[in-house]
């Protein structure tokens, strides 16, 4: 197994993550745009051509891109683009029109250009400042939410892969919290990528101690290939047999796609959601000049199984569904699989109970006001009232709670997930009783009084 070398400087990684997280929104940059003259535009384009020829992963494509923007420059097609930000955006579009590489972009950002140049010139450019460490901590190394859901299913809302050197303790605590779950859902729908060592460490928790080949990254500038395997030693409990689900959207990108692609081809996870963004070329943020920075993809992912990657195509899910329904779809799949596997009838019953609830959430019953009012009434100690367009349930001497329509004759409660109400009608359609249903199979019947 080859030794993994540094792929990004930490400063560059933070810049990459910033632009990925803001790719679909209005980017707020402290420095205001400036007006460019023809000399500054020519300098920027000539420097970009050199950076591409020296670094871009595919030399022939680098030459083609360079020729394209130089031709446009010579034809004065950039003459009327004087706003610095607009110029960077146009260059990004032009380069991507040839390469179709979504990692490749140019931005106007003098602060980052200055910082990158300073780091590149220094002998300690790999050192991480206290400010940079604090930035990663502030974002909790990408972990937005960790939860144990009903059915003993773990859930992780994960927004970005930080370098394992800094994130390992947080990763250990997250995995430790979920280590007794029977299934885990990892939500990458808002994950724009990050560092491959983070991918490597998190993946290692879902395999045994025998190293598994995850991915290779080839880098053109050094003519170097780095192999990524699961780690033989990690802190905490491994979960090689836990059912694993990964949620994706068309925003899922870069390292998040690598994680998804690796585990899909190893048949270790079920992918649920949308086809991902399609960016498989790692690289680095480089300073074009004093005003512009540029992300130059200088590497290429090579999966050991497919001998290819997801560039331009994205990762195709196993269960295709819109991103807004991915979580409930994965949860339903997990519950049904767990119910099939268990021989414990009590556990099976509870899993099926929860699965019914998820099915209803995926296909909610829409009740009109007249129908809802028909459920109101007194059922012995149970009371149902219609208030401001919604039904409320209250047992004598207890608090009032809102009823959530479940099916055409059943309601559930957000606060009490082990209990539901079912209404029974006679042959004429009139409601005659209410049944209290419990997840252990118990049924409590109360006749309607008025």
Average pLDDT, whole number, for the chain? 91
User: Greater confidence, 364 or 4?
Assistant: 364
Contacts 24+ apart (CB under 8 A), 224-229: 224/5, 225/2, 225/302, 226/2, 226/4, 226/5, 226/7, 227/1, 227/2, 227/4, 228/4, 228/196, 228/199, 228/200, 229/1, 229/200
Most confidently predicted of 23-37, 168-182, 414-428: 168-182
3-state secondary structure of 175: helix
What is residue 50's predicted lDDT score, i.e. its pLDDT?
97
Mean pLDDT of 387-413: 94
Residue 119's pLDDT band (cuts 50, 70, 90): confident
Mean pLDDT of 365-378: 93
Per-residue pLDDT of 240-295, as tens digits, reads: 999 999 999 999 999 999 999 999 999 999 999 999 999 999 998 999 999 999 99
DSSP code at position 142: G
Q: DSSP string spanning 20-81?
A: HHTTTS----SSPP-B--HHHHHHHHHHHHHHHHHH-S-HHHHHHHHHHHHHHHHTTTTTT-
Share of the chain above pLDDT 70, in %: 91
pLDDT of 30 strictly over 70? no
User: 72 exposed, middle or buried (CB, 10 Å; 0-12, 13-18, 19+)?
Assistant: middle
405 neighbors 367 (Cβ within 8 angstroms): yes
As a whole number of angstroms, the distance between CA 15 and CA 382 comes to 59
State the angle between helix axes of 326-341 and 345-362 in degrees (0 to 180), rounded to the nearest 10.
160
- Ramachandran bin of 142, using left for φ above 0, alpha for ψ from -120 to 50, beta for the remaining angles: left
As a whole number of angstroms, the distance between CA 392 and CA 436 comes to 14
What is residue 3's predicted lDDT score, i.e. its pLDDT?
39
Least confident of 78-82, 122-126, 434-438: 122-126
What is residue 4's predicted lDDT score, i.e. its pLDDT?
43
Residue 17's pLDDT band (cuts 50, 70, 90): low
What is residue 27's predicted lDDT score, i.e. its pLDDT?
42
303 neighbors 309 (Cβ within 8 angstroms): yes
What is residue 15's predicted lDDT score, i.e. its pLDDT?
55
What is residue 240's predicted lDDT score, i.e. its pLDDT?
98
What is residue 34's predicted lDDT score, i.e. its pLDDT?
87
CATH top class, domain 139-283+298-323: alpha beta
Domain regions of the chain by residue span: 10-121, 139-283+298-323, 369-447
Query: What tokens were used for 153?
Result: 């299913």
Residue 115's pLDDT band (cuts 50, 70, 90): confident
pLDDT of 8 strictly over 90? no
What is residue 99's predicted lDDT score, i.e. its pLDDT?
95
Q: DSSP string spanning 193-233?
A: -B-HHHHHHHHHTTS-SS--EEEEEEETTTTEEEEEE--S-
As a whole number of angstroms, the distance between CA 341 and CA 372 comes to 38
pLDDT of 22 strictly over 80? no
What is residue 10's predicted lDDT score, i.e. its pLDDT?
53
The residues, ordered by sequence, that sit 6+ positions from 89 with a Cβ below 8 Å of its Cβ are 106
Residue 120's pLDDT band (cuts 50, 70, 90): confident
Mean pLDDT of 190-208: 96
pLDDT of 123 strictly over 60? no
As a whole number of angstroms, the distance between CA 217 and CA 287 comes to 23
As a whole number of angstroms, the distance between CA 398 and CA 401 comes to 9
pLDDT of 324 strictly over 90? yes
Mean pLDDT of 318-327: 98
What is residue 26's predicted lDDT score, i.e. its pLDDT?
39
Residue whose structure tokens are 């996870």: 269
Mean pLDDT of 404-433: 93
| Cut 0.85: pTM above it | yes
What is residue 131's predicted lDDT score, i.e. its pLDDT?
82
What is residue 223's predicted lDDT score, i.e. its pLDDT?
94
Mean pLDDT of 93-113: 94
Per-residue pLDDT of 135-151, as tens digits, reads: 889 999 999 999 999 99
Residue 5's pLDDT band (cuts 50, 70, 90): very low
What is residue 24's predicted lDDT score, i.e. its pLDDT?
39
What is residue 364's predicted lDDT score, i.e. its pLDDT?
87
What is residue 1's predicted lDDT score, i.e. its pLDDT?
40
What is residue 13's predicted lDDT score, i.e. its pLDDT?
56
Strands 283-287 and 213-219: unpaired
DSSP code at position 2: P
Mean pLDDT of 198-226: 97
Per-residue pLDDT of 42-57, as tens digits, reads: 999 999 999 999 999 9
């Amino acid at each position: 197994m080859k030794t993994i070398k540094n792929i990004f400087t930490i400063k560059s990684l933070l810049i990459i993550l910033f632009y990925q997280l803001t790719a679909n929104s209005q980017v707020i940059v402290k420095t205001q745009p400036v007006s460019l003259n023809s000399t500054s535009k020519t300098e920027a384009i000539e420097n970009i051509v050199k950076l591409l020829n020296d670094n871009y992963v595919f030399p022939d494509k680098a030459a083609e891109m360079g020729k394209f923007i130089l031709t446009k420059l010579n034809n004065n097609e950039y003459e009327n683009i004087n706003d610095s930000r607009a110029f960077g955006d146009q260059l990004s579009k032009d380069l991507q029109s040839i390469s179709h590489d979504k990692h490749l972009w140019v931005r106007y950002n003098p602060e980052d250009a200055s910082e990158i140049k300073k780091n590149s010139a220094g002998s300690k450019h790999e050192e991480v400042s206290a400010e940079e460490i604090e930035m990663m901590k502030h974002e909790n190394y990408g972990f937005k939410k960790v939860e144990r859901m009903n059915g003993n299913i773990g859930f992780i809302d994960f927004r970005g892969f930080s370098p394992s050197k800094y994130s390992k303790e947080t990763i250990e605590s997250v995995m430790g919290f979920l280590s007794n779950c029977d299934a885990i859902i990892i939500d990458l729908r808002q994950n724009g990528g990050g560092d491959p060592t983070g991918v490597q460490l998190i993946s290692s928790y879902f395999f045994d101690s025998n190293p598994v080949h995850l991915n290779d990254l080839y880098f053109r500038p050094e003519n170097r290939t780095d192999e990524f395997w699961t780690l033989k030693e990690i802190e905490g409990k491994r979960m090689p047999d836990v059912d694993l689900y990964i949620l994706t959207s068309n925003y899922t990108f870069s390292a998040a796609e690598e994680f998804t692609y690796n585990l899909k081809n190893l048949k270790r996870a079920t992918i649920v959601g949308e086809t991902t963004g399609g960016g498989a070329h790692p690289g680095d943020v480089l300073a074009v000049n004093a005003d512009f920075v540029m992300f130059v993809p200088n590497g290429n992912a090579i999966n050991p199984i497919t001998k290819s990657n997801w560039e331009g195509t994205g990762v195709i899910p196993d269960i295709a569904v819109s991103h807004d329904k991915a979580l409930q779809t994965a949860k339903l799949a997990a519950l049904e699989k767990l119910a099939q596997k268990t021989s414990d009838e009590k556990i099976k019953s509870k899993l099926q109970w929860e699965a019914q609830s998820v099915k209803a959430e995926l296909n909610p019953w829409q009740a009109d006001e007249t129908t809802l009012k028909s459920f109101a009434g007194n059922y012995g100690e149970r009371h149902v009232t219609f208030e401001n367009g919604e039904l409320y349930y209250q047992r004598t001497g207890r608090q009032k709670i809102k009823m959530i329509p479940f099916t055409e004759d059943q309601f559930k409660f957000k606060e009490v997930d082990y209990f539901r109400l079912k209404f029974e009608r006679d042959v004429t359609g009139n409601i005659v009783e209410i049944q209290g249903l419990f997840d252990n199979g118990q049924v409590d019947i109360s006749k309607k009084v008025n």
